[in-house]
Amino acid sequence: MSELLPEPYGIEPLTTQRVVVKDSQAKLKDYPHLYTAGSEPLAVEEIRITALGTGYPARRGQGCAGFMAELGNGDVFIFDTGAGTNLSFNHMKVPYHKATKFFMTHYHIDHIADLIVYYDFGQSNGRLEPMNVYGPAGEKPELGIEALVENIYRLAAWHDRTKFGNLDKRGFEMKAHQFEPDQAREVYNENGVKITAFPVPHGIYGAVGYRLDYGGLSMVFAGDCEPSTITVENSQNVDVLIHEVFNPPQMYVDKLGWTEIQAKIVAWTKHTAPEAAAKVFSRTNPGVAMGFHSMIAPGTPQPILDGIRSGYDGPVVIAQDFTVINVTREQIVTRMVEFEPAPFLASDPEYMASKGGAEPDPSVMHGLPEWLEKTTIGIPMIDDFKKELAERGMR
């Protein structure tokens, strides 16, 4: 009998194995049925992985690709920043200054679009340090992360000119960390966390997956890719393997009106079919295999799971946004996130104090040309405040 998944976008994750026990002798922590955003401190040896975006294209219920890993040592890592993922991040009650370590798998727009949004919101919401953005080099200099960051600055030129000075300047910096994606290599090693990047086949040279190891716990985010032996080698014994799994081509024919050949080119030669993902999963044997990058709508998860089941019988989760996985030495628990529809963003006064507070600098602010400023309709308290800014050097 086939294993039946719940319908998407409810309170159940798309899996039939919510709890995977790693150590049957251990006393298991009992997690609440839902993870209420911001509510559960992590144990030191624990990782919480949240799906901020899982599909393509972005719709209100499902963003493009992006995952967040929160670690028991306080570190936060963001893997890819597709459209809609920043919106999800804003619901997770994680202060912006924690989101300073970004790891990009490749530079398709559906994986990078929100990087500039993190740049913006972090400036105004308490990030008083640079964003560190890790990513592969490409075949040419203009195809690597260094060029991408320079191009984001260009795109943000108008934005930065209006905001520089009224916000603390420390929030206006991105540091690119570029590496050659020709073989598996360690690209990060700090505070007990090691991240290894490994090449994956995805259209052209310059796409990678990442493996994170921390306190004997591990996850792989393979990014966008065809199935590859390199991914298999680098994902051995991993707790959570996040690997793309595309919808069967017939769905695109039936629902989107694609031709069969177009659907097969995309689903089978640029991405990973469920039956092919099964090969990666069975050779890797992860604690939990999580498939992402499929369009999740009523009725679509089941055929994906059935395809995976043609060659893999281990624990599988089909990712929808706000799926959350807690990993400890004892167990791997998959749930959904419960969040407020329009929360205030998380603030962290202690952090702000440790940085000496946010320090605007009106002397470097740019203002309107005089003729346009003169047209603004004032009231006394605002006119007075503008005078004060002018006295402090604002042009």
In the complex, the smallest distance separating the C-beta of residue 66 from Zn ion, rounded to whole angstroms, is 10
Please return the burial class of 352, using the count of CB atoms within 10 Å of its CB with bins 0-12, 13-18 and 19+: middle
Q: Closest by alpha carbon to 105, among 3, 10, 195?
A: 195
In the complex, the smallest distance separating the C-beta of residue 65 from Zn ion, rounded to whole angstroms, is 5
Q: In this complex, which beta carbon is closest to Zn ion, that of residue 20 or of residue 208?
A: 208
Contact (Cβ atoms closer than 8 angstroms) between residue 328 and residue 30: no
CB atoms < 10 A from the CB of 10, how many?
10
In the complex, the smallest distance separating the C-beta of residue 246 from Zn ion, rounded to whole angstroms, is 10
Q: In this complex, which beta carbon is closest to Zn ion, that of residue 202 or of residue 335?
A: 202
In the complex, the smallest distance separating the C-beta of residue 93 from Zn ion, rounded to whole angstroms, is 27
Q: In this complex, which beta carbon is closest to Zn ion, that of residue 91 or of residue 271?
A: 271
Residue 317, classed as helix, strand or coil, is: strand
In the complex, the smallest distance separating the C-beta of residue 56 from Zn ion, rounded to whole angstroms, is 5
Angle at 137 between CA 192 and CA 51, to 5 degrees: 55
In the complex, the smallest distance separating the C-beta of residue 249 from Zn ion, rounded to whole angstroms, is 16
CB atoms < 10 A from the CB of 311, how many?
16
Question: Is there binding between residue 168 and Zn ion (CB under 5 A)?
Answer: no
Q: Are strands 47-53 and 66-71 parallel, antiparallel or unpaired?
A: antiparallel
In the complex, the smallest distance separating the C-beta of residue 245 from Zn ion, rounded to whole angstroms, is 12
Question: Is there binding between residue 80 and Zn ion (CB under 5 A)?
Answer: no
Both tokens of 188, joined, read 């990060």
Element (H, E) at 277: helix 274-284
Stretch that binds Zn ion, among 108-116, 150-158, 166-174, 346-354 (CB under 5 A): 108-116
Question: Is there binding between residue 110 and Zn ion (CB under 5 A)?
Answer: yes
Q: Which residues are bridge partners to 78 per DSSP?
A: 68, 102
Stretch that binds Zn ion, among 103-111, 112-120, 278-286, 384-392 (CB under 5 A): 103-111
Contact (Cβ atoms closer than 8 angstroms) between residue 230 and residue 259: no
CB atoms < 10 A from the CB of 305, how many?
21
What is d(CA 29, CA 282) in angstroms, rounded to the nearest whole number?
28
Q: Which of 91, 97, 98, 108 binds Zn ion (CB under 5 A)?
A: 108
Stretch that binds Zn ion, among 84-92, 106-114, 146-154, 235-243 (CB under 5 A): 106-114
Q: How many residues bind Zn ion (CB under 5 A)?
A: 3
Q: In this complex, which beta carbon is closest to Zn ion, that of residue 47 or of residue 197?
A: 197
Q: In this complex, which beta carbon is closest to Zn ion, that of residue 105 or of residue 334?
A: 105
Q: In this complex, which beta carbon is closest to Zn ion, that of residue 119 or of residue 246?
A: 246
What is d(CA 170, CA 122) in angstroms, rounded to the nearest whole number?
10
Q: In this complex, which beta carbon is closest to Zn ion, that of residue 94 or of residue 225?
A: 225
In the complex, the smallest distance separating the C-beta of residue 112 from Zn ion, rounded to whole angstroms, is 10
> Considering Cα of 76, then 81, then 84, then 87, what sign does the dihedral take?
positive
* Tokens 């260009």 -> residue: 154
What is d(CA 173, CA 264) in angstroms, rounded to the nearest whole number?
42
Q: In this complex, which beta carbon is closest to Zn ion, that of residue 171 or of residue 206?
A: 206
In the complex, the smallest distance separating the C-beta of residue 81 from Zn ion, rounded to whole angstroms, is 12
Stretch that binds Zn ion, among 27-35, 213-221, 223-231, 302-310 (CB under 5 A): 223-231
Q: Which residues are bridge partners to 338 per DSSP?
A: 36
Q: In this complex, which beta carbon is closest to Zn ion, that of residue 108 or of residue 163?
A: 108
Q: Give residue 345's region: left, alpha or beta (phi > 0; psi -120 to 50).
A: beta
Both tokens of 310, joined, read 């043609």
Q: Which of 12, 70, 80, 224 binds Zn ion (CB under 5 A)?
A: 224
Stretch that binds Zn ion, among 29-37, 105-113, 130-138, 147-155 (CB under 5 A): 105-113
CB atoms < 10 A from the CB of 29, how many?
12
In the complex, the smallest distance separating the C-beta of residue 306 from Zn ion, rounded to whole angstroms, is 23
Residues across the chain: 395
- Per-residue contact string for residues 355-384; x = within reach of Zn ion by CB under 5 A: ------------------------------
Stretch that binds Zn ion, among 4-12, 147-155, 161-169, 218-226 (CB under 5 A): 218-226
Q: In this complex, which beta carbon is closest to Zn ion, that of residue 105 or of residue 123?
A: 105
* Share in percent of the chain as helix, strand, coil (round to 5): 30, 25, 45
Chain positions contacting Zn ion, by CB under 5 A: 108, 110, 224
